[in-house]
Every structure is written in C-alpha cells, then in structure tokens.
Amino acid sequence: MDKKDLRILEIIQKNSTLTVNEIANTLDMSASTCWRRIQSLEEKGIISARVTLLDQKKVGLDLTVYSAIRTHKHTSRWFNEFNKMVSANPNIMEVHRLSGDIDYLIRAVVPDMNSYDEMYKEMITKVDLYDVSSSFSMETIKYTTSLPLKITSFK
C-alpha cells in the first residue's frame, strides 16, 4: 500500500457512499486508476465490507452492555459451544478473547434491562460460565469505526 491507497481508505471509512469519480477527484487521479486501487484493496481483504452504520438508540437499542466472562473450562468442546451461542445471538456485537483474569469480553446492545436479563439467562443456560460480570454504559463519549491510518509511515 502507498499513500494514495491509504487516502482512499481514509475517504471511504468516512463515507462509503461516495462514487469512484468523487474519490478520484478528491485525490487528483483518474476514475479507472482509483477503481483498480479499490478493487485491489478488496481482493487483498483490506476492505472487508461496506456497511451502513445505524444510530442504535434511534432503532430502540438503548442499552450497551459489557460483560466480562470467566470460565473454568478451556476445552475445544466448551469453546465451540460458547462460539455457537455468541454467534447466534444478534444482540452480541463483539466478543474478544483476552489475556489476564478475564477470559472473554462481550459487547452487546439491547433495548432495556429486562432484555439484558433475558440474554443473560439464555447465555448461562446454553454454556457453562463460571462468572459473568456486566457493566452498563451510561454515556458514549467517543465512538468511531474508522481505523487510524498513518499516511506518513507509508511510501
């Protein structure tokens, strides 16, 4: 990747609805060159998807929950059950396997506390969890989906 590829990525992270011509004009390159670069970035998997981001509160998902999960089972069978459970739940947005005292961190969005309680009961019914400690976001101070790309570090 070079600086022009990184500029393309910066631009489409902010607004993926721009046409190839609009992106090319911003970068002072031909539309065909810009299109080839975008295609190459997609083929390499650098651009993994183009999505529309929604305002979670405006679609009725008012509560963001972070659940720290600990387990005493570290087997492939347990992991497969856990993976199946979190993958099937549409309210679970992210799952991270961590180092340290916490095994997994889940970020979920739900309409309200009762919905979270139902999700919690479903989780502990489907998978043997040693400890679940959840925290509820009171305010989102910063949220972005744009990755920080350092143009100066590329030639």
The reply to whether 29 falls in a domain is yes
**Nearest alpha carbon to residue 124 among 93, 77, 81, 95:** 81
**Can you give the pTM of this predicted structure?**
0.86
Is the same domain home to 72 and 101? yes
Number of structural domains, the chain?
2
The token pair that represents 20 in the structure block: 């190839």
Q: Which domain holds residue 81?
A: 57-136
73 and 132 together in one domain: yes
Report yes or no: 147 and 14 within 8 Å, Cβ to Cβ: no
Instruction: Report in angstroms the alpha-carbon separations of 121 from 68, 71, 88.
Output: 15, 16, 15
Say whether both 72 and 89 belong to one domain: yes
CA distance 72 to 63: 29
pLDDT of residue 150: 80
The 10 Å CB-count burial string (b at 16+, else e) for 19-30 is: ebeebbeebeee
Q: Measure the CA–CA gap between 38 and 18, rounded to whole angstroms.
A: 12
Q: Roughly what angle, to the nearest 10 degrees, separates helices 31-43 and 3-14?
A: 80
* 152, part of any domain: no
Q: What is the pLDDT along the chain (155 residues), one digit of tens a residue?
A: 899 999 999 999 999 999 999 999 999 999 999 999 999 999 999 999 999 999 999 999 999 999 999 999 999 999 999 999 999 999 999 999 999 999 999 999 999 999 999 999 999 999 999 999 999 999 999 999 999 998 655 54
Residue 21 in tokens: 């011509």
Indicate whether 43 and 78 sit together in one domain: no
| Buried b or exposed e, range 72-92, using 16+ CB within 10 angstroms | eeeeeeeeeebeebbeebebb
